[in-house]
Structure 1
Amino acid sequence: MSALVRIDARGLPAAPLDAAAAFHARVVPEVRKAAGSDLAILFDFADHTHLGWRRAVVEELAREAAPNRVNGVAGREGQAVDEVCAYLAAAPGVTGQLLQTDGNSRDSA
């Protein structure tokens, strides 16, 4: 298994369509450059309006990167994000998932 590479997708615009556009322009090329590695894409927390595009992009990037894995992690940088990334590094069957580190599902995506 390859090392888990963290891709920073934090600091995207607040509006969902603008955030999705910025993600595709800024982050997708970085993900493609990291081909051959398992990836964890780090997102800031956002409200439920971002959930759909985030899930869709993580799922599609995981399909494109197979057999390598791509997952999303939403949360504040720190121990919880580190723990989720450690879990993902040790869980070879997990791919295409968007995981959150704290908060609750109605307040974060």
Structure 2
Amino acid sequence: MFFNGTTTNSMDFAIPGQSDTIEIYSPRNSGLGAFTAAVDGGAVLQTVVQDGVDGFIKTTITVTRGAHTLNLSRVSGLVFITGVIAFDSTVPAVDVVSAGWLALPPLA
């Protein structure tokens, strides 16, 4: 998980391999901030506002197939990024993602 509540510095994520679709997962909750998403240092492609009704947001960005770097930058407030999945939509695949929360007790 990535979070930022103080700076507008970007988090740059070099995506391994070739991809044409990038999914960004982030929580939505009252009082949270906003962030922007760009690819390869270019123009902002999405602005994600996390303030709102409790839940999760999936933001999808489609780009030309190739090697890319995702640039995420805080705009305002406290921002959380909980996951990024990048893939080539022309290649059939299944992503198995294991995620949890540290405050939960282990399963018996």
Using the size of structure 1 for normalisation, the TM-score is 0.32
Bigger proportion of residues as helix: 1
Structure having greater relative contact order (Cα 8 Å, sep ≥ 6): 2
Q: Which has the larger radius of gyration?
A: 2
Bigger proportion of residues as strand: 2
